Amino acid sequence: MEHLKDVSVFVEAVDAGGFSAAAKRLNLTRSAVAKTIARMEARLKVRLFHRTTRSQGMTEEGRFFYERCLRAIEEIRAGEAELESGRRDVRGKLRVTMPVIFGRQCVAPLLIGLLDKHPGLELDLSFSDRVADLRADGFDLAVRNGRLKDDADTIVRRVAFQRLTVCASPAYIERHGEPQGLEDVPNHEGIIYGKRESHDTWVFPSSDDPWRVVLPRSRLRLDDLESIRDAACRGLGLAWLPCWMIRNDVAAGRLRQVLKAVPSVTFETHAVWPRSPVMLPRVRLAIDTLAAGLPGMME
């Protein structure tokens, strides 16, 4: 419990911008705050702040620890809020922004399913590949894929891992054969995602180098993943797509996964919401629903 008290002082020192300001907020002396931080640093065996005569700036370890501490404190506050309202239905409007295709196929069905269980809940779902400013645009929650930029105004929780796989139609494989390894890919026709230059090549984890880059021959370049999937189903070439997108096509026999022995590229899906002292129960419900439901849809 003593450690928890130290954590609250540490978080306040970061939020207040210095030991003196934190001391005023906590009704402590600056010396007491400084001693608390020093005690934490000694226990953790890391330096949390760069100290000068005029300021205290966080170290990289300090920033790492701050994010975890803040999440823990907000979890406690959220738990208290849920206990206070535990016998009431989740209600009110929940505004969520999400990527277009992923949102339509994976996220929206899970969230819409909440309406049956919570008659007082309202959903306002926005489908856009633009990264919204949550506060300025009035969103309670965002679902985002891939690497995120650091943002002190938001909280992040990973809710799923996505995996990319190479696939082709049975008709294509019958005509051209099935690639057995990455060295075979340049000899095959491919359907390339051409929205950005960085997607011109296909990259795979490698034991020799961080990434192994390959590229099939291509006469077809599209900037829409659903169109790439449709073209692959027509037998126009290999496609490199998220597993969730081709799940039904594989089950129906329209597509087959190839290169199964090759390590796949994976990336994270996150729930992102504005930083707040207390999390609204409807936001908590949505995040927990996504964390429970999305992983099973990713393979």
145 and 102 in one domain?
yes
Residue 148 belongs to a domain: yes
Span 161-180, pLDDT tens digits: 999 999 999 999 999 999 99
d(CA 246, CA 107): 16
Indicate the residue among 55, 84, 113 that finishes a domain: 84
β-partners of residue 145 are 269
- pLDDT for res 160: 92
Alpha carbon of residue 169 to chain centroid: 30
Residue 16 belongs to a domain: yes
Residue 80: give the domain boundaries: 2-84
Span 246-289, pLDDT tens digits: 999 999 999 999 998 888 888 899 999 998 877 888 999 999 99
CATH label of the domain that carries residue 135: 3.40.190.10
Indicate the residue among 84, 116, 138 that finishes a domain: 84
Alpha helices in the chain (DSSP H): 2-16, 19-26, 30-44, 60-84, 100-102, 108-112, 114-117, 134-137, 170-176, 225-233, 243-252, 281-293
- pLDDT for res 49: 87
Count of C-beta atoms within a 10 Å radius of residue 242: 21
Collapse the DSSP code of 281 into the 3-class scheme (helix H, G, I; strand E, B; otherwise coil) and give the result: helix
Whether the full predicted model's pTM is greater than 0.85, yes or no, is no
136 and 178 in one domain?
no
If we measure between CA atoms, which residue out of 155, 160, 134, 133 comes closest to residue 145? 160
Average pLDDT of the residues in 177-203: 82
Collapse the DSSP code of 93 into the 3-class scheme (helix H, G, I; strand E, B; otherwise coil) and give the result: strand
d(CA 269, CA 94): 19
Average pLDDT of the residues in 79-94: 69
Residue 58 belongs to a domain: yes
290 and 149 in one domain?
yes
- Whether the pLDDT of residue 102 is over 60: the answer is yes
Average pLDDT of the residues in 84-91: 64
Residue 171 belongs to a domain: yes
pLDDT level of residue 1 (50, 70, 90 thresholds):
low
* Number of domains the chain contains: 3
179 and 244 in one domain?
yes
State the chain's mean pLDDT as an integer. 87
If we measure between CA atoms, which residue out of 71, 3, 83, 101 comes closest to residue 43? 3
Distances (CA, A) of 183 to 173, 186, 192, 264, 266: 16, 7, 18, 15, 21
d(CA 135, CA 137): 6
- pLDDT for res 255: 96
- pLDDT for res 172: 95
- Whether the pLDDT of residue 83 is over 70: the answer is no
104 and 35 in one domain?
no
Non-local (6+) Cβ contacts of 13 within 8 A are 19, 22, 33, 37, 49, 56
Backbone phi and psi for residue 214, each to the nearest 5 degrees, phi listed first: -135, 160
Span 201-228, pLDDT tens digits: 788 887 666 778 888 888 899 989 999 9
75 and 102 in one domain?
no
Residue 158 belongs to a domain: no
- Per DSSP bridges, beta strands 189-193 and 121-127 are unpaired
- Whether the pLDDT of residue 33 is over 80: the answer is yes
Residue 24 belongs to a domain: yes
Average pLDDT of the residues in 237-254: 94
pLDDT level of residue 53 (50, 70, 90 thresholds):
low
280 and 135 in one domain?
yes
279 and 147 in one domain?
yes
280 and 149 in one domain?
yes
